[in-house]
Amino acid sequence: MIALQLTTEGRLKHFLTVEGLSRNLLTEILDTAESFVGGPGQPIKKVPLLRGKTIVNLFFENSTRTRTTFELAAKRLSADVLNMSIATSSTAKGESLLDTIRNLEAMFVDMFVVRHNISGSAHFIAQHTAPHISVINAGDGQHAHPTQAMLDMFTIRQIKPDFAKLRVAIIGDILHSRVARSQIQALNTLGAAEVRVIAPKTLLPTHVESLGVSVCHSLTEGLKDIDVIIMLRLQKERMASALLPSEAEYFKCFGLTESKLKIAKTDAIVMHPGPINRGVEIESSVADGPQSVILRQVSNGIAVRMAILSMAMQPQGGG
Amino acid sequence: MSLDKLEINNLLDTLEASLRQTVAQRGLANPLMVGIRTGGVWVAEELHRRLGIAAPVGLLDISFYRDDFSQIGMYPNVKPSQLPPNIEGRDIILVDDVFYTGRTARAALNEIFDYGRPRQVVLAVLIERLGKQIPISPDCVGRNIALSPEQRVKLSYPPLAIQIESQGRP
């Protein structure tokens, strides 16, 4: 899995998961993203780096933020972009995934950006696609969402540059969250002082400690000494079984309110990968408050995805 | 080859004189001096001081405009370019340390024109070495030298100094 992502020279070929990637490579992604950001508040300039390349956004699952920022990132790099929402296309007519891929390959595409509701889909495509094509995972099932994790790391580093000093709390539906998994891996690789997950037992995977996190079941206790608060969306659509008494009950125990926010460090930042459920996991006044960097995360998504697209599109086989 | 012999100050004097002449001849008004990272910025800062130009030196990182991405890939440590937001109608003095194949100047011109349409651009380089590959030439040159392909000119700063290195040396 790790070997699949890198060339023999250790360069990024596919970006499927943060797991197993070195601190150097993650830092290189963040540094490259930095170079695309013009300055504070400045729009990102269009550069001719990927002119003539074709990138296909292959989305088997709904997404607004991720797809649009991937599209903007590709366009800022001067690549041509095709957006395919597969629910409305050939697979609905019975075409297999690999046949869809083969057909797109025949159109001389250079990269697939894949979002799928089944874990491992991006790996599967990376294993079976033509060797010159790169695959970027834009979220697969409950497994990974590595570009989201990297834009979160980028946002954290912009505000709090030294990961070694940071205590980070990830709060909410860890069980169903591919974002949380990728964030935990990235934070540990970058050397965060502590990654703390705060959630009811029913929303934590078994043996969650093995991911390298400390565990807390109370928000009021867990927020102490925290520098970075990452709220997760309560994934109602994945909540098949009765894991929670009610949304109101959940908000009472695990919703981030202004008064609970005061328990964390005074300069703590509040993050959320979106979309947010106001009044379910986060109070509106916190989401829109001065400590929130939620919209900054969205802006940073463009530069970070530009970095990942261009790094994966580098010539292979040395040079 | 020790480039002490090239005496950096002599090169700068020659380049400054040539630039003054060009500025007068072509009627450059309120010029904006732009250095190409990294060596070009150092030379630009020196010329900027000597010519007493008011507007601060603009910085250009042409890494994203290179024509060798498909052969070489990303350049590490690319820094954002810093040009004034509006260069429409401006007179620009583009400065680099070494002019060799001409590809860097091509990339720099492309990037500049993405910011706007300057009235004119003058290209000033400290050293021009033989080997150009595209029909672009500098307007002002500190010194022309012929080097073999395995040699490369290396600038350091501060203070501004030039060395000629042979590649393959550890």
In this structure, what CATH number is given to the domain that contains residue B95? 3.40.50.2020
CB-CB under 8 Å, B74 with A32: yes
For A48, name the nearest residue in chain B, comparing CA atoms only.
B65
Six-digit token pair at A61? 């699952």
Which among A127, A124, A122, A164 has a CA at the least distance from the CA of A145?
Answer: A122
For residue B135, cis peptide bond before it (omega within 30 degrees of 0):
no
- Round the CA-based radius of gyration of chain B to a whole number and report it: 16
Q: Cα separation of A242 and A200, whole Å?
A: 13
B76 touches chain A (CB under 8 A): yes
Interface-testing mutation among B69, B72, B83, with chain A (most A C-beta atoms within 10 A): B69
Q: Which residue has the tokens 């590649």?
A: B167
Query: Apex CA B155: angle with CA A27 and CA B124, to 5°?
Result: 105
Rounded to the nearest angstrom, the minimum Cα separation between A253 and chain B is 45
**Residue numbers of A annotated as active site:** 65-66, 93, 115, 145
Inform me whether the pLDDT recorded for B170 exceeds 50.
no
Q: Cα separation of B144 and B99, whole Å?
A: 9
CB-CB under 8 Å, A49 with B64: yes
Which among A112, A140, A135 has a CA at the least distance from the CA of A6?
Answer: A135
For B63, name the nearest residue in chain A, comparing CA atoms only.
A49
State residue A89's pLDDT score: 61
Per-residue pLDDT of chain A in tens (319 residues, 90 and over written 9)? 557 999 988 899 999 999 999 999 999 999 999 989 876 667 788 899 999 999 999 999 888 899 999 999 999 999 999 998 877 566 666 678 888 899 999 999 999 999 999 999 999 999 999 999 999 999 999 999 999 999 999 999 999 999 999 999 999 999 999 999 999 999 999 999 999 999 999 999 999 999 999 999 999 999 999 999 999 998 876 566 667 778 888 999 999 999 999 999 999 999 999 999 999 999 999 999 999 999 999 999 999 999 999 999 988 654 3
Roughly what angle, to the nearest 10 degrees, separates helices A178-189 and A146-159?
A: 50
Q: How many CB atoms lie within 10 A of CB A271?
A: 23
CB-CB under 8 Å, B69 with A49: yes
Q: Cα separation of B142 and B14, whole Å?
A: 5
Per CB-CB distance under 8 Å, the chain B contacts of A314 are 69, 73-74
Nearest by CB to A319, from B72, B80, B110: name it: B72
B15 occurs within a structural domain: yes
Q: Among 3.30.70.141, 3.40.50.1370, 3.40.50.300, 3.50.50.60, name the CATH number for the domain at A146-297.
A: 3.40.50.1370
For residue B76, cis peptide bond before it (omega within 30 degrees of 0):
no
Q: Regarding beta strands A80-85 and A111-116, do their DSSP bridges make them parallel or antiparallel, or are they unpaired?
A: unpaired
State residue B27's pLDDT score: 96
- At B27-57, the pLDDT tens digits run 999 999 999 999 999 999 999 999 999 999 9
Inform me whether the pLDDT recorded for B169 exceeds 70.
no
Distance (Å) of CA A230 to CA A149, A153, A171, A301, B163: 11, 11, 6, 16, 51
B76 occurs within a structural domain: no
For residue B128, the enclosing domain spans 2-65+83-166
Residue B87 and residue B118 in contact, taking contact as beta carbons nearer than 8 Å? yes
State residue A195's pLDDT score: 98
Per CB-CB distance under 8 Å, the chain A contacts of B63 are 35
Query: Could you give the count of Cα atoms lying within 13 Å of A6 in the half-sphere of its Cβ?
Result: 13
Largest CA distance in chain A: 59
Per CB-CB distance under 8 Å, the chain B contacts of A306 are none
B37 occurs within a structural domain: yes
Q: How many CB atoms lie within 10 A of CB B25?
A: 10
Number of structural domains in chain B: 1
For A49, name the nearest residue in chain B, comparing CA atoms only.
B64
Please give, one letter per residue, the 3-state secondary structure of B6-50.
CCHHHHHHHHHHHHHHHHHHCCCCCCEEEEECCHHHHHHHHHHHH
CATH architecture of A2-144+300-317: 3-Layer(aba) Sandwich (3.40)
Phi and psi based region of residue A107 (left: phi greater than 0; alpha: psi -120 to 50; beta: remaining):
alpha
Distance (Å) of CA A59 to CA A148, A183, A203, B148: 16, 22, 27, 53
Which among A177, A213, A185 has a CA at the least distance from the CA of A15?
Answer: A185
Output phi, psi for A155, to 5 deg. -65, -45
Domain limits, CATH 3.40.50.1370, in chain A? 2-144+300-317, 146-297
B129 occurs within a structural domain: yes
For residue B159, cis peptide bond before it (omega within 30 degrees of 0):
yes
B153 occurs within a structural domain: yes
B162 occurs within a structural domain: yes
